[in-house]
Structure 1
Amino acid sequence: MQKFDAIIVGAGFAGLRALYRLREMGKSVRVLEASGGIGGVWYHNGYPGARCDVESYDYSYSFSPELEKEWRWSERYATQPEILRYINHVADRFDLRKDIDLNTRMDRATYDEDTARWTIETGKGETISAQYLIMCVGQLSTTKAPEFPGQDDFAGEIIHSGVWPDREVTFEGKRVGIIGTGSSGMQMTPVVARAADHLTVFQRTANFSVPAANAPVSDEEDRKVKANYAERRQQALNSPTGLGFKPNRQSALDVDDAEREKVYEAAYHRLGFGFALAYHDILLSKPANDTAAEFLRRKIGALIDDPETRDKLVPKDHAFAARRPSVDSGYFQAFNRDNVELADIRAHPIVEFTPEGLRTEDKLHKLDMVIFATGFDAFTGSLLKPEIKGRGGMQLREKWAAGPVTQLGIGVADFPNLLIVVGPGSPSLLSNVMVSIEEQIDWMSDLVAHADAQGIVEIEAERAAEQAWVAHVNERAQETLYMTAASYYNGAEVAGKPRVFMPYSGGIRNYRRILQQCADDGYSGFALRRAPQKQARGQVGA
């Protein structure tokens, strides 16, 4: 049986960063990646129009000034192919591929309390041992797809946006249906609309979106950013979301209508997803949020010609940004085309597939292709997919039956030497996830280095600490409007999933201070042991 210091699961941005850092520390590391290529979510989400909603210069690694200088982004908001080229460039430049096993899924991981090591079994029948098991599986990597009666009878093609085929998909001459109006559906709609004979978008919930404000990156802008990259990185680290700018400290209610309109207008045309920070209380106060929501409703309405379609597309049932808003490039304008139709499946739900297409309560939609843009089992889906057994055979699925419980989003009691990157309980999807990835991995690596120096073989979250952290995460969420809407932030995206708020809404900067305080206090909330310790389940830290 092969033995390693660490096994990393996932070869996306987080997995590559963890591999680089641990290897620099002299650790023996292997990365297990179930897919045929590296890139994680950016490997699979190759649908037309896929684009990042964080500016390219900020959605990139900061650990190498040389990498920053040599890579040339072509657009302000990079497309999926360009991001995938960047990830592959990083892997080649730092010779990371030699430590990555592709097409290798972790099926099972079992903690050995006698040796303080994990035994990992793969889909290839291999058994591997490691002191640390580091989960870098991403928050949006386990897709969810609806199952409708008659689906197997459909004569056309069904594709999920999150597992886009590794081949050319053509829409010319076809009648296409897109189910879902989150980011994937909103990004692909204008692209598909330009090619297909007819496009039907099946909408259950109208979603807020702001323009991507995308543009080519000029040579002058590239030189300017690279000349001040260190300052730009510091601005991101010291901003609440890692987007590099701080929210307006004024309340949206403390200015007159003309001033507020001016601020919103500027944010609308430049900040993309950052529009939510135009005033600091947009996500804290319903009256403040109403001003932003009303502005966006007016903007969205002005883009849509048909009054009936406009009424269906303008969101009315949730606060702006309580569900993650999209950043689009011509989504609403696509419905002005003669070949684009909106099907309101809240008013007229989908009944069944037929060989010819999709039947809703009011009509049969004849289709040649259906695209499920129905999203993911967020935050926990990929963590709970393999069988992970901790002390006494406790399964992570059992531990998290009522919702995820972590210490700082990193460790879990009863699962020693298991470390989670940007999972539930961390800023993750409420932040520029690249900043969160690097922040957490550097902190975890320092923890491992501390353990090595002290002769520690077992790191385990304490039960009292993880309970306190979950309580804190929920307290911060209750200060916001996030819980007023059903979303993947709170488990509403999957039927039967526990309805708990999962990401940490206290911000990148505050989270980093908490991590630093934990380290300064000798990694408080974590039991650090020089020898393996057998315990009854549920007794850690009690």
Structure 2
Amino acid sequence: MTESTLDTKPAEGAAPARTLDALIIGAGVAGLYMLHQLRQQGLKVRAYDAASGVGGTWYWNRYPGARFDSESYIYQYLFSEELYKGWSWSEKFPGQPEIERWLNYVADRLDLKKDIQFGTTITGARFDEATDRWTVRTDTGETIDTQFLVTCGGMLSAPLTEVFPGQDSFKGRVIHTGRWPKEPVDLAGKRVGVVGIGATGIQVIQTIAPEVGHLTVFVRTPQYVVSMKNPAYGPREAEAYKARFAELQRTLPNTFTGFEYDFTHTWADLTPAQRREVLEACWQDGSLKLWLASFAEMFFDAAVNAEVSEFVREKMRARLKDPKLIDLLIPKDYGFGTHRVPLEMNYLEAYLRPNVEVVNVRDNPIERVVPEVVQLADGTVHPLDILILATGFDAGTGALTRIDIRGRGGRSLKEDWSRDIRTTMGLQVHGYPNLFTTATPLAPSAALCNMTTCLQQQTEWISDCIRHMRAKGLTVCEPSKEMEDRWVAHHDETASANLISKTVSWYLGSNVQGKPRRVLSYTGGVGTYRQKCAEVAASGYQGFEMR
């Protein structure tokens, strides 16, 4: 951080302390690349992040067991072969410390940190219709005047931390996984409770079970899981994947989910034995291939989904063995792939340990947290020293609704999205000129994508749009209401055709009370979305009103 990073707080009524061409919120995967691109255009640009360093998701999520479930060699920037080949991963699915080091490598190689202000939260932003510029406020008292406001806050960055009555009275520690402290947390021999068994909870449970004195897992919604295979990478393996750079650069942006693999089999064309062979091969890969490259029909055809779901249940039953655990930990009321599918390593086996207890809170929910215990609705109590909340996020929208963003006429994005979650291609919102967004609803980056693939595409589209405006001498860009209506209708039509839209999960915002229900992620495919975005750009940005 340079000495000029922090300006003194302006006196009341004084002119803004800083004037920018573009302000970026967030210094994670999207924010770093966005900063690089806009700087390459010659813009005066600065990124702001509440963290003390770069990384975004991979800065905050430092809980025990946090790691990739995208293969390391595809979760990378692909705009520079030199940058790609300059880093070597130690394993196929590396852990958080290595991922954070990689993002620092990127920031240092591109010399980005001098234009990032850390330890600063954006609290508000208002569009001034008289000047066609945004006035942005921070928690440090700074005011910034900027033409473009680009949000790169991430789709899972607004943790649901205040979950149970009485949390503040708990005498032990309450830690949300999305805000895990930097300093070590001593779990050895402690009575630890984990609430939530989604992808994050699973990683925590499998990691800490051998360390804690007693682990209580509060289970509400069981998850289908796929066993991860995570080989170590040495020089030979690194050389092999680096040799594929051109191939990955060409193919990843055009697959259905931005991964290297894609759906190549048709259910109806195969015999039952052949289908089983495909499922077994995908399972043995030890990746998300079973979910993202076995049979696309599982997302649309309930009968196909039922067979794939039973295949996974069979694999899980064989490992759990215990009828009680099978009943509590294997899903029965929704199908495989309609929720986020977690990868795991010995997660199911953790429940077979004598120091691990499973508590069913589906019909007997947690009622409150009191000074020393978690209390259920029936009065049962569970004494704990540490309570870990793997309770998820306000996905897709939370990063922006926790900022007071005001568009034309003073309209509030928080209020707008409290009524109806709408965007134009997940890139802009009608009523908010020159506000560009990434990882927001109605784009694949809201959930269903290898994130680096989709975030690179979105930031490149935004950069190209700003370049187009500057070349034409234009200062304002906003999607028309008609354009947004068409995209929302297309998004909903696509979503309604698949089983995800019929399943209660955070994919629909179901985990946040009062949140409007809509499938958050565009489900038409990453390659299709990319093509549609490219067509808009090629048309001269038809549907986006510029002046």
The one-letter code sitting in structure 1 at the alignment partner of 2:242 is K
- 1:516 is aligned to 2:534: yes
Structure 2 CA distance for partners of 1:271 and 1:450, relative to 1, 3 Å? farther
Greater CA drift, 32-41 or 188-197: 32-41
Instruction: Give per-residue Cα distances to partners, 1:433-492, cap 9 Å, x unaligned.
Output: 101111111111111111111111110111010011011111111111111211111110
Q: Which residue is equivalent to 1:537?
A: none
Provide the alpha-carbon RMSD of the alignment: 1.3
Q: Which residue is equivalent to 1:262?
A: 277
- 1:176 is aligned to 2:192: yes
Q: Which residue is equivalent to 2:4?
A: none
Q: Which residue is equivalent to 2:294?
A: 278
Question: Which whole-Å CA distance do the structure 2 matches of 1:150 and 1:245 have between them?
Answer: 46
Map 1:372-451 onto structure 2 (within 5 A). Answer: 372-428=389-445, 429-451=447-469
Question: Which whole-Å CA distance do the structure 1 matches of 2:163 and 2:93 have between them?
Answer: 34
Instruction: Give per-residue Cα distances to partners, 1:140-178, cap 9 Å, x unaligned.
Output: 000003533433332211111010011101211111100
Structure 2 CA distance for partners of 1:520 and 1:153, relative to 1, 3 Å? closer
The one-letter code sitting in structure 2 at the alignment partner of 1:289 is N
Of 453, 471, 488, 2:506 maps to 488
CA contact (8 A) 1:410 1:419 kept: yes
Question: Which whole-Å CA distance do the structure 2 matches of 1:373 and 1:388 have between them?
Answer: 28
- 1:185 is aligned to 2:197: no
SS for the counterpart of 2:518 is coil
Of 472, 491, 502, 1:473 maps to 491
Question: Which whole-Å CA distance do the structure 1 matches of 2:138 and 2:160 have between them?
Answer: 23
How many Å apart are 1:119 and its aligned residue?
A: 0.8
Q: Which residue is equivalent to 2:521?
A: 503
How many residue pairs match? The answer is: 528
The one-letter code sitting in structure 1 at the alignment partner of 2:352 is N
How many Å apart are 1:362 and its aligned residue?
A: 6.4
How many Å apart are 1:257 and its aligned residue?
A: 2.6
Instruction: Give per-residue Cα distances to partners, 1:228-266, cap 9 Å, x unaligned.
Output: 211122121221111011102312x44233222221111
The one-letter code sitting in structure 1 at the alignment partner of 2:28 is G
- 1:202 is aligned to 2:226: no
CA contact (8 A) 2:60 2:180 kept: yes
Instruction: Give per-residue Cα distances to partners, 1:333-354, cap 9 Å, x unaligned.
Output: 1111111111110132223223
The one-letter code sitting in structure 2 at the alignment partner of 1:419 is F
For structure 1, which runs of at least 5 residues remain unmatched after alignment?
530-542
Question: Which whole-Å CA distance do the structure 2 matches of 1:149 and 1:289 have between them?
Answer: 38
CA contact (8 A) 2:153 2:439 kept: no
Question: Which whole-Å CA distance do the structure 1 matches of 2:316 and 2:210 have between them?
Answer: 20
Question: Which whole-Å CA distance do the structure 1 matches of 2:110 and 2:33 have between them?
Answer: 11
Question: Which whole-Å CA distance do the structure 2 matches of 1:152 and 1:399 have between them?
Answer: 31
Question: Which whole-Å CA distance do the structure 2 matches of 1:257 and 1:313 have between them?
Answer: 27
Question: Which whole-Å CA distance do the structure 1 matches of 2:288 and 2:237 have between them?
Answer: 21
How many Å apart are 1:274 and its aligned residue?
A: 2.6
Map 1:96-495 onto structure 2 (within 5 A). Answer: 96-251=112-267, 253-270=268-285, 272-276=287-291, 277-360=293-376, 361=378, 363-428=380-445, 429-495=447-513
How many Å apart are 1:363 and its aligned residue?
A: 2.9
Question: Which whole-Å CA distance do the structure 1 matches of 2:224 and 2:417 have between them?
Answer: 31
Structure 2 CA distance for partners of 1:232 and 1:479, relative to 1, 3 Å? same
The one-letter code sitting in structure 2 at the alignment partner of 1:25 is Q
Q: Which residue is equivalent to 1:538?
A: none
For structure 2, which runs of at least 5 residues remain unmatched after alignment?
1-15
How many Å apart are 1:382 and its aligned residue?
A: 0.8
Q: Percent identity?
A: 41
Question: Which whole-Å CA distance do the structure 1 matches of 2:77 and 2:133 have between them?
Answer: 30
Question: Which whole-Å CA distance do the structure 2 matches of 1:43 and 1:228 have between them?
Answer: 28
Question: Which whole-Å CA distance do the structure 2 matches of 1:28 and 1:3 have between them?
Answer: 8
SS for the counterpart of 1:336 is coil
Structure 2 CA distance for partners of 1:12 and 1:265, relative to 1, 3 Å? same
CA contact (8 A) 1:190 1:331 kept: yes
Question: Which whole-Å CA distance do the structure 1 matches of 2:545 and 2:127 have between them?
Answer: 16
How many Å apart are 1:221 and its aligned residue?
A: 2.0
Instruction: Give per-residue Cα distances to partners, 1:173-195, cap 9 Å, x unaligned.
Output: 11110000001100110111010
Question: Which whole-Å CA distance do the structure 2 matches of 1:25 and 1:457 have between them?
Answer: 15
Instruction: Give per-residue Cα distances to partners, 1:318-365, cap 9 Å, x unaligned.
Output: 111111111111111111111111111013222322333212226321
Map 1:71-86 onto structure 2 (within 5 A). Answer: 71-86=87-102
How many Å apart are 1:89 and its aligned residue?
A: 0.8
Question: Which whole-Å CA distance do the structure 2 matches of 1:118 and 1:152 have between them?
Answer: 37
Question: Which whole-Å CA distance do the structure 1 matches of 2:165 and 2:411 have between them?
Answer: 37
Structure 2 CA distance for partners of 1:114 and 1:354, relative to 1, 3 Å? closer
Question: Which whole-Å CA distance do the structure 2 matches of 1:132 and 1:149 have between them?
Answer: 41
The one-letter code sitting in structure 1 at the alignment partner of 2:476 is E
The one-letter code sitting in structure 1 at the alignment partner of 2:482 is A
Q: Which residue is equivalent to 1:53?
A: 69
Question: Which whole-Å CA distance do the structure 2 matches of 1:351 and 1:450 have between them?
Answer: 55
Structure 2 CA distance for partners of 1:348 and 1:400, relative to 1, 3 Å? closer
Structure 2 CA distance for partners of 1:316 and 1:354, relative to 1, 3 Å? same
The one-letter code sitting in structure 2 at the alignment partner of 1:219 is P
Q: What is the TM-score of this pair, normalised by structure 1?
A: 0.95
The one-letter code sitting in structure 2 at the alignment partner of 1:487 is S
SS for the counterpart of 2:210 is helix
SS for the counterpart of 1:71 is coil
Structure 2 CA distance for partners of 1:150 and 1:442, relative to 1, 3 Å? closer
Greater CA drift, 131-140 or 346-355: 346-355
The one-letter code sitting in structure 2 at the alignment partner of 1:78 is P
Of 83, 93, 110, 1:94 maps to 110
Greater CA drift, 303-312 or 429-438: 303-312
The one-letter code sitting in structure 1 at the alignment partner of 2:410 is G
Q: Which 4+ residue blocks in structure 1 deviate beyond 4 angstroms? A: none
